[in-house]
A and B are shown apart, each in its own frame.
Chain A
Amino acid sequence: MVPMQALIVDMQYLVYAILPFPVQFAPLAELLAANHGIGHSKLETVSSAELIAITGKVNHQKVISSTENALAYARVIDELFRLYTLLPVRYGTVANSREAVVSLLKKHTHQLHQNLDEVKNREEFSLKMLWKHEGSYQYFRGQPGAAKKEVPIPFPADSPQKTYLLQKIRKHRQENALVDYAEQLANKLEHWLVSFHPTFRFKIMVSQRLILDATMLIKKGYQQDVVQAISCFQDRYPDLHFLLTGPWPPYNFVKLPNDGTGQKSP
């Protein structure tokens, strides 16, 4: 269970995803009829002149923040994503009328269209690289480069101060070596997958164990090839465990809001 419960007050329309025009309405209507939203709510479209929001009604005071509801929310987006290019909307986004949804779509039409163009017919994959064993990163301890350069320390040999400083310097060098290694890994992965023309987002050294967290946006229909390519790439790194998931709707490539919280820099 997600450890929280949330109440949405005085809200009517829960927004799941945003699609561009044109779409074929018959299959969309069929898809919406065959699925339901949170709390078995009926799914419906709310359209502006250029965009379509997929919505479902939610009741006042309704508790919506549970794992089950989050999964129901994700499932709606997933089903739509099988057929359409879309932008997933943040869980819990609600408006109190159809007009409010239309107004939000109109307000952000340009940005949403631009973003939709960027993710058009593309899907997201996530690749996490972790050290296989807790202490694997200790490999970097004692690397030739780590202890090569002497740093003058103005304390007597074997003094606590000198010992302390030497330990700090060694740790600093190890961390630098790890960051360098993670950056090299990211560059090599990018180069390795260049034939798929991916858009990448990288986070390095998320923790001591999680050395690289990559998300890739790749043209739809290449998942078998991506798996094969990453499987071959993994063979080069026996000390690393790879976790590949996908294909996902382009959650990590949404650009609204523009304050930087919606995307990560490579």
Chain B
Amino acid sequence: MESRPNKIPTHQDMENNVVDRSQEVTLHEILDRVLNKGVVLAGDLVISVADIDLVYVGVRVLLSSVETLERIQSDKQKENEHMHGPNAGINR
């Protein structure tokens, strides 16, 4: 597992108090930022999550966290149901 080098070098007592250097926290923070934050530019993208069929996301070029993808799929499913009835969900 990788860690971010040189994050807040400071006095040991301060580190013990407020700076958490544990890999778990840092990894979570990195992934939260990389997957959920950042500039989103317009474009086209096809994505796939695990064994779920390819889902066309449309004009957004983004690949995000599972939660975000699930929300997108849920929204699309609702939209689909609204348009075509409750049995017309996204292929899974």
Q: Is A31 an interface residue, CB under 8 A from the partner?
A: no
**CB of A184 closer than 8 Å to a CB of B:** no
B87 at the interface (CB under 8 A from A): no
Contact with B along A80-100 (1 / 0, CB 8 A): 000000011111111100001
The answer, yes or no, to whether A74 is at the interface (CB within 8 Å) is: yes
B 27-57 contacts with A by CB, 8 A: 27, 29-31, 33-35, 37-43, 45-50, 54
Q: Are B61 and A234 in contact, CB atoms less than 8 angstroms apart? A: no
Contacting B at CB under 8 A, from A214-230, are: 223-224, 227-228, 230
Bound Cα distance from A87 to B7, whole angstroms: 19
Query: Given the complex, which residues of A lie within 8 Å of B61, measured CB to CB?
Result: 90, 92-95
Known: A243-B25, A246-B8. A227 touches B14 (CB 8 A): yes
Q: In the complex, are the beta carbons of B66 and A231 less than 8 A apart?
A: no
Q: Residue-by-residue, is A104-129 near B (CB-CB < 8 Å gives 1, otherwise 0)?
A: 10011000100100000000001000
Given contacts A6-B63, A93-B61, A245-B29, contact A256 B40 (CB under 8 A): yes
Contact partners of A15 in chain B: CB under 8 A = 41
User: Contact between B63 and A92 (Cβ–Cβ < 8 Å)?
Assistant: yes
Of A40-48, A63-71, A137-145, the one with at least 4 CB within 8 A of chain B: A63-71
CB-based nearest B residue for A2: B31
Q: From known contacts A94-B61, A234-B18, infer whether A244 and B42 are also in contact, taking CB-CB under 8 Å.
A: no
Q: Are the CB atoms of B37 and A88 closer together than 8 Å?
A: yes
User: Taking the complex as formed, is B81 at the interface, i.e. its CB lies under 8 A from any CB of chain A?
Assistant: no
Cα–Cα, bound, A231→B14 (Å): 6
Of listed B8, B63, B69, residue having the most chain A CB within 10 A: B63
Chain B residues in 8 Å Cβ range of A256: 39-41
Q: CB < 8 Å: which of B4, B54, B62 contacts A78?
A: B4
Q: Which residue of B30, B37, B42 has the most chain A CB atoms within 10 A of its CB atom?
A: B37
Check if B10 is an interface residue, CB within 8 A of chain A: yes
Pick the residue among A3, A74, A94, A243 that contacts B33 (CB under 8 A).
A74
Q: A8-B45, A93-B62, A244-B20 are in contact. Are A227 and B39 (CB under 8 A)?
A: no
Q: Which residues of A contact B43 (CB under 8 A)?
A: 93-95, 100, 104
Say yes or no for A75: interface residue by CB 8 A criterion.
Answer: yes
The answer to whether the Cβ of B64 comes within 8 Å of any Cβ in the partner chain is yes
Spell out A's residues near B (CB within 8 Å): 2-11, 15, 18, 64-65, 67-68, 70-71, 73-75, 77-78, 87-95, 100, 104, 107-108, 112, 115, 126, 223-224, 227-228, 230-231, 234, 242-248, 251-252, 254, 256-257, 261-262
